[in-house]
Amino acid sequence: MRLVVARCQVDYAGRLTAHLPMATRVLMLKADGSVLVHSDGGSYKPLNWMSPPCSVREGTTDDGQVEWLVTSKSDDTLRILIEEIHHDSSHDLGVDPGLQKDGVEKHLQELLAEHPESLADGLTLVRREFPTAIGPVDLMCRDIDGLSVAVEIKRRGEIDGVEQLTRYLELLNRDPALTRKGSVRGIFAAQEIKPQARVLATDRGIACAVVDYDALRGLDDAEHRLF
């Protein structure tokens, strides 16, 4: 990961446009190919970002100002003009073991692995914690037509979770073994899904599923009583 603290201006152009005027910010270039622009307050979320895979070209403008041009696979661009660099360092973070889920979220994953059909008719489990280069997908399933379905599970569904599933889908859809019959699609499952997260998921072709944790537990208990 490369971490840069710089006075910069940022302009995004793609499905919409966005402008961040000149100010001191934190720029993160991660090993997975993502680029994030952070401020020092207001939110833990980046002010702007580019999801992987993307390319970063460093150069200078006609007047000699340092410029980073970040381009996504869909040709969206993030243009970062740098007036002054205060800090620039690179760090090898190694392999991350992944997020350890809390009790409720972990149990929710276990219940949905037992009852994937509660997310969509005919859905069957292939594997829990399906590995990718950027971390495990909670559930890898197969739908009634034999197509692969990646499921990301949260207690509370927010934009970060949709972004996480988007990154997984970008990687999974490059795997010929998973896409023989068609593209891998995604389901974002949570006990509660924020309206902004639902809008973003819908825009990216990701299905949303609100999960009733108590009903799932009751279904699981009933099955155990039968056996």
Same domain, 112 and 60: no
pLDDT of 221 > 80? The answer is no
Q: Which of 56, 90, 124 is the endpoint of a domain?
A: 90
- pTM summary value: 0.57
Query: Could you give the CA distance from residue 37 to residue 82 in angstroms, rounded to a whole number?
Result: 12
Claim to verify: residue 107 and residue 211 sit in the same structural domain: yes
The pLDDT tens digits of the residues spanning 170-213 come to 999 999 999 999 999 999 999 999 999 999 999 999 999 999 88
Bridge partner list, 20: 10
Q: 114 and 212 share a domain?
A: yes
User: For residue 97, is it within any domain?
Assistant: no
Residue 96 lies in a domain: no
* Same domain as 217, residue 128: yes
Q: Which of 150, 155, 161, 151 is nearest to 196 (CA)?
A: 161
In this structure, what CATH number is given to the domain that contains residue 41? 2.70.180.20
Give the HSE-up count for residue 206: Cα atoms under 13 Å, Cβ half-sphere: 30
Measured N-to-C along each axis, helices 159-172 and 195-203 cross at an angle, to the nearest 10 degrees, of 20
- Considering the domain architecture, whether residues 122 and 215 belong to the same structural domain is answered as yes
13 occurs within a structural domain:
yes
pLDDT recorded at residue 100: 55
Residue 125, beta-bridge partner list? 141
Residues 66, 114 within the same domain: no
> How many angstroms separate the CA atoms of 43 and 14, rounded?
23
Mean pLDDT, all residues of the chain:
89
Q: How many structural domains is the chain composed of?
A: 2
The answer, yes or no, to whether residue 222 has pLDDT greater than 50, is no
Q: In which band, very low, low, confident or very high, does the pLDDT at 67 lie, cut at 50, 70 and 90?
A: very high
* Domain region containing 28: 2-90
Same domain, 22 and 131: no
- Of the three residues 69, 90, 111, the one that is the final residue of a domain is 90
Q: 95 lies in a domain?
A: no
- Let me know if residue 118 belongs to a domain: yes
Task: Using the structure block, give the residue that is written with the tokens 């990701």.
Answer: 206
Q: Identify the domain boundary among 60, 90, 120.
A: 90
Mean pLDDT to the nearest integer, 88-110: 76
Q: Quick one: 62 and 122 in the same domain?
A: no
